[in-house]
Amino acid sequence: MAVIQDVHGHGHDHPTGIMRWLTTTNHKDIGTLYLCFSLFMLFVGGFLAMGIRAELFMPGIQILEPEVFNSFTTLHGLIMVFGAVMPAWVGFANWQVPLMIGAPDMAFARLNNWSFWLLPVAALLLITSFFVPGGAAAGGWTFYPPLSTQGGMGTDMMLFAVHILGMSSIMGSINIITTILNMRAPGMTLMKMPMFVWTWLITAYLLVLVMPVLAGAVTMVLTDRNFGTSFFNAAGGGDPVMFQHIFWFFGHPEVYIMILPAFGVISEIIPTFSRKPLFGYSSMVYATASIALLSCFVWAHHMFTAGMPVVGQLFFMYATMLIAVPTGVKIFNWTATMWQGSMTFEVPMLFSIGFIFLFVIGGFSGVVCAIVPIDIQVQDTYYVIAHFHYVLVSGALFALFAGAYYWLPKWTGHMYDETLGKWHFWLSMIFFNLTFFVQHFLGLAGMPRRIPDYALQFADFNMVSSIGAFGFGLTQLLFVYIVIKCARGGEKAADKTWDGATTLEWTHLPSPAPYHSFETPPVVK
Amino acid sequence: MNGSKLMAMLSGLVAFGFYSGAAMSSKYNLPEPQTPIAQQIYDQHILALWICLVIFIGVFGVMGYSIVKHRKSVGYKAANFHHSTIVEIIWTAIPVLILVAMSWPATKTVIEMKDTSESDITIKATGYQWMWGYDYIQGEGEGISFYSQLSTSQDQIRNQAPKGEEYLLEVNNRVVVPVGKKIRILMTANDVIHAWWVPALGVKQDAIPGYIRDAWFSVEKPGVYRGQCAELCGKEHGFMPIVVEVMEQEKYTQWVADKQKSASAGVVNTALVASGSNKN
């Protein structure tokens, strides 16, 4: 504990109040900002989801006109991906990467501040676009042209927001890569890094690789809309399918950007609560790297119905199915870690097991979708909606909850309410499945996605799904209450809150972690 | 506590079993296949489901056992093993083999799906915001051309009239084809991307403005098969269904004759109007 500095030691020129947050360069402050922002956006995106499910509660048009409904689905997707899940993971990286590698802060502290404060600007653009003439973007979160060239000013605001969010992500990733590669404590070789740090290192490389590609696609749509270019307009010699290739070259690695840090968190939590080292650490690292690599060669599986030559379809089918192998290795490794452990089931562990359980179901439907002939039937149906909510909600979001419960004691110095946390887990688990499991059936039976109204044979499952969604939405308010309660007080957390924990933040720092930590690096043996 | 977790696991398994078991009923599964391709898709989906179920039971059987037995509250002491190269190789190799087994039939189907050669009738489907246009461009019925729009009334959509049985899945002009013939559909679009999809026929293909794509089907049984646009195309995306009516050969010949007669009558009428207006 010799490395700890007095919390107030650096307080002499430290701004307070709002200026503290606007000018902060401290990784913990910025991490907190990221996490609060993403929680807020989770509720904005959630509100849109509630609107969607309310409209779909019964057949017929009730509360949302079709165009508004399309805006809701579009902005729900964009806000959840770029506003909730991605910033939440950057928030975790900000808090945890320096603590886990024994660094005093992130490498580029001011860049860190800038990459956060870009986010509220983008969020403002997205949210206010609902109130401009013509309404918000309604061409889907994938904004395929030519449909996205039709929208009003709201579409330009959305595209501009995506640009800003992309810039923020690129800067954040550069920062994370530099921090991890240059600021590890003496003795912490790459192959001794905690899995969360590994997964974020690989994620950050993916971000730097694909975000500029998205920026290119966005720029071309913007100039097609505003300056008369024809990148994606067939009448002017452009190609609408080209957009899909470029978009998904970003879009597929993007889903791994959202899930790889989740793998990292789960790989920290399972060993801690099994009181047993992670099984197959090096194979986990290689599996993560191969998932990231493969993810760059599978983009066109989102386009099996766009029309590709046989060879193209087969290549992308085989490549996609191959991803199941390293993903399977991860599942098997987690199972082997639990095997013959001495397990306890606190909330982080519950969310982790819930994660594995539901992520596997999402993985199975992923393999089903990868098989071209089956995908021809299920592409753009509710089956696909069910699939990616299983990997992104019970995948990324559950892992975020697991991580939040796991590290809240370290961040706040207080224990969260274990009973309420268990309620949060079980209610989320039940309502999640109620919402999304039945959507598999809807998709198979032929309900297309992104429709505000549906044929009568889909009515009962839609009602079940809507009831589940309302329950799931309400349950998340409980999480906010638990977090606020924990931040304000509660039982004092021990420095090493979890007896099976082995990473530096638990073994070398008190709870709460002081404002400045590891000014003298620890030595890792 | 132990009991509740075990129950959760079990109910998950039961739910999943139910999923596969109920797979025969169309409410829970793909619609009854009407073409050889749709049949292959159906079978491959069932196969995939069973493989997933077996793996699921295997993985969560082990994990479930571990969760029940290897817990601190029953005094289980943690072991300390952390890797085994042999095990890692085994559980990398086995999934590869399973995937090869799954992709083999899929590959054959993909090749068959893409073979649109030697069709008996070729129909061009054009997506518009928001309806479909059809042109019979080769084979029996050549020259027939019409638009196909949703025929469900606004009153039904606005909840001011009771909804009919084929709510949102009915059109004013159906695409009519004969049984047993290889029908090639060319897809294109006039404004934005649409997708022509009829689940029972196993056909889904994007209709892209400026480009032509194709697909084919051949139906053995007369009947009416319904589908919807499957690519977001604007506010009426949910309201541009596709209805294919498959007829016996004689009936189809009759339909073609009727269509062509009314089409030529239409042409004559326009000619009369045109010449009439010239005289004035």
- Per-residue model confidence as pLDDT tens digits over B119-155: 999 999 999 999 999 999 999 999 999 999 999 999 9
Chain B nearest-CA distance from A385, in A, is: 13
Residues of chain A with pLDDT under 50: 1-11
Q: Interface pTM (ipTM) of the complex?
A: 0.92
Per-residue confidence (pLDDT) for residue A239, from 0 to 100:
96
Q: Do A314 and B48 touch (CB under 8 A)?
A: no
Per-residue confidence (pLDDT) for residue A13, from 0 to 100:
64
Reading phi first (left if > 0) and then psi (alpha if -120 to 50, else beta), residue B33 is in beta
Which chain B positions have a beta carbon within 8 Å of A150's beta carbon?
192, 234
Cross-chain CB nearest to A338 (options B66, B204, B228):
B66
Which residue of A lies nearest to B69 if distances are taken between CA atoms?
Answer: A340
Which residue of B lies nearest to A438 if distances are taken between CA atoms?
Answer: B28
Mean pLDDT of the region B4-14: 55
**Which one is predicted more confidently, B24 or A180?**
A180
Q: Counting beta carbons within 10 angstroms of the beta carbon of residue B179, is it exposed (0 to 12), middle (13 to 18) or buried (19 or more)?
A: middle
Mean pLDDT of the region B151-167: 95
Does any CB of chain B come closer than 8 Å to the CB of residue A328? yes
Which chain A positions have a beta carbon within 8 Å of B204's beta carbon?
305, 376-377, 379-380
- Name residues whose C-beta falls within 8 Å of residue A382's C-beta, 6 or more positions apart in sequence: A439, A440, A442, A443, A447, A448, A449
Does any CB of chain B come closer than 8 Å to the CB of residue A450? yes
Per-residue confidence (pLDDT) for residue A6, from 0 to 100:
47
CA torsion A215-A217-A220-A226 (nearest 10°) is: -80
Please list the residues that pair with B178 across neighbouring strands: B247
Per-residue confidence (pLDDT) for residue B8, from 0 to 100:
56
Res B269 pLDDT > 80: no
On average, the pLDDT of chain A sits at 95
Q: Counting beta carbons within 10 angstroms of the beta carbon of residue B168, is it exposed (0 to 12), middle (13 to 18) or buried (19 or more)?
A: buried
Q: Do B202 and A274 touch (CB under 8 A)?
A: no
Which residue of A lies nearest to B169 if distances are taken between CA atoms?
Answer: A455
Cross-chain CB nearest to B103 (options A321, A376, A450):
A321
Reading phi first (left if > 0) and then psi (alpha if -120 to 50, else beta), residue B52 is in alpha
Helices (H), A379-458: 382-391, 398-412, 418-445
Which chain A positions have a beta carbon within 8 Å of B19's beta carbon?
437, 440
- Name residues whose C-beta falls within 8 Å of residue A412's C-beta, 6 or more positions apart in sequence: A486, A487, A493, A512
Does any CB of chain B come closer than 8 Å to the CB of residue A379? yes
List active site positions of A: 76, 105, 141, 168-169, 252, 254, 256, 267, 301-302, 327, 330, 449
Query: Running DSSP on this structure, what letter comes out for residue A393?
Result: I
Cross-chain CB nearest to B232 (options A139, A329, A379):
A139
Res B28 pLDDT > 90: no
Cross-chain CB nearest to B44 (options A279, A322, A371):
A371
Interface list for A 218-237 with B (CB within 8 A): 234-235
Name the pairing type of β-strands B175-178 and B241-247. parallel
Res B2 pLDDT > 70: no
Which residue of A lies nearest to B157 if distances are taken between CA atoms?
Answer: A60
